Amino acid sequence: MRSRKFIAGLGMASLLALTACGGGGGATEGGLGERDGVETEAGLGGGEAVTQFEEMYQTAVDGGQTTVNVYTPLTATWPDVFAAFEERFPEINVEPLQIVGAELDTKVSQEQSSGQRIADMVITGDSGAVALADRDTFQEYRPFNAQDITEDPQFSLEEGTLTSVSASPRGFVYDTRQDVGGAPESWDDLLRPELKGKITMTDPATDGGGMQWGDLVLNDSDLGEGYLKDLAAQEPVISSNTAECHNAVVQGRAYVCIMGAMGNYQTLTRDGAPVEITYPVEGGNWATYWYAGVVNESENADAAKLLAAWLNTPEANEVKAEAGHGPVTNAEDVELPFENPADVPQFERPDLADVTARQRESQKTLSSLFS
């Protein structure tokens, strides 16, 4: 089988739901909040982890840090994630700002240069996070519960300024109303004559998920530039962003968005959209990895560190999965409504420190192919 079709249902039977512990927002003996249906020790990763989180929480609250300001493109898809954090740590509110790409980079940089810092944390994709880290935007912070990824050059920087917090699976989101001779299940399927002019994709020549995908395919030993040339000959329609890519399919203006995001797909199917998703496995696939950085000299740095650590707990992994994001660590007892990106063959990725430079080099070829 060349691809895998995801199950859209979200009725997870996670091992985290061991006991019903009362309604969310209450307080446990150690000051932590309770989360409905989630046992605290299992949810946070064990007894030692609970102690660590209690100490971090107390430090933040004692310092008057009752807010953590997060700049991220994930505001629209992660409201339940941030709400779950507030349930576990009820004296701290998450204030997310929806901001993307160059605008995010400019705003954070201006705050740093002026000393008028608002952001306490940034959560964004690989190239954007690395670009900010290269300008000393973030302080060194290695969460105690994520040592395996903070020591892995594909998930963190040597300086310890970024920590991966999720992996968003990507696939082909297609229109179930259109008959084009069968659903696309592999990269080669996209080259079928009947799909010419019916493909949409986010721009691989500009920063973002499109460029990430284009760089991975361009540097793949099996696909490479030859495949991209063949795909360009299919006359794909370039969408301005991932949401527009999905909308083109929902509205029938395209048959398939080849950079479909799991979170967007789950939202669309919950709303009754006539779409399905396949995950091409033959030749490899990809996921968008998201990284968190605690801003240097931010007002609520301790609260931001608490959030960064919590985002890789088993209970956070469960809530993120409902938003279409897979885990990067501490997921042994978490059931997902889709295949974990870690269990599916992926395109070979560069080390995080090399992402920006390689994408910039790839951009030249991608621009010439898809201009």
Local confidence pLDDT in tens for the 371 residues of the chain? 334 443 333 333 344 443 333 344 455 445 899 999 999 999 999 999 999 999 999 999 999 999 999 999 999 889 999 999 999 999 999 999 999 888 999 999 999 999 999 999 999 999 999 999 999 999 999 999 999 999 999 999 999 999 999 999 999 999 999 999 999 999 999 999 999 999 999 999 887 889 999 999 999 999 999 999 999 999 999 998 888 999 999 999 999 999 998 988 998 999 999 999 998 877 788 999 999 999 999 999 999 999 999 999 999 999 999 999 999 999 887 888 888 888 888 899 999 999 999 999 999 999 999 97
Beta bridge partners of 168: 288
Burial 202-228 (b: 16+ CB within 10 A, else e): bbbbbbbbbbbbbbbbbbbeebebebb
With tokens 């669309």, the residue in question is 268
Asked if 288 and 170 touch (Cβ cutoff 8 Å), the reply is yes
Asked if 281 and 308 touch (Cβ cutoff 8 Å), the reply is no
Asked if 183 and 276 touch (Cβ cutoff 8 Å), the reply is yes
pLDDT of residue 281: 73
Nearest to 256 by CA among 324, 178, 158, 327: 178
Asked if 119 and 94 touch (Cβ cutoff 8 Å), the reply is no
pLDDT of residue 26: 52
pLDDT of residue 342: 81
Asked if 267 and 325 touch (Cβ cutoff 8 Å), the reply is no
Beta bridge partners of 293: 122
pLDDT of residue 229: 97
As a whole number of angstroms, the distance between CA 18 and CA 298 comes to 37
Coil, helix or strand for 171? strand
Nearest to 169 by CA among 308, 343, 350: 343
> Which residues, including other chains, have CB under 8 Å from residue 323's CB and lie 6 or more apart?
77, 78, 80, 81, 263, 266
pLDDT of residue 13: 38
As a whole number of angstroms, the distance between CA 137 and CA 107 comes to 12
Q: Are strands 163-175 and 256-261 parallel, antiparallel or unpaired?
A: antiparallel
- Helices within 176-283 (DSSP H only): 209-218, 224-232, 242-250, 262-270
∠ CA 331-335-338, nearest 5°, is: 105
pLDDT of residue 126: 92
Coil, helix or strand for 150? helix
As a whole number of angstroms, the distance between CA 150 and CA 148 comes to 6
pTM given for the model: 0.88
Q: Which stretch of DSSP H or E encloses residue 41?
A: helix 40-44
Q: Which tokens hold the place of 62?
A: 């004692």
7-10 LR contacts (CB < 8 Å, sep 24+):
7/337, 7/338, 8/265, 8/266, 8/269, 8/337, 9/337, 10/266, 10/270, 10/322, 10/337
25: left (phi over 0), alpha (psi -120 to 50) or beta: left
Q: How many CB atoms lie within 10 A of CB 4?
A: 17
Q: What is the DSSP string of 88-119?
A: HSTT-EEEEEE--HHHHHHHHHHHHHHS----
Burial 74-97 (b: 16+ CB within 10 A, else e): bbebbeebbebbbbbbbebebebe
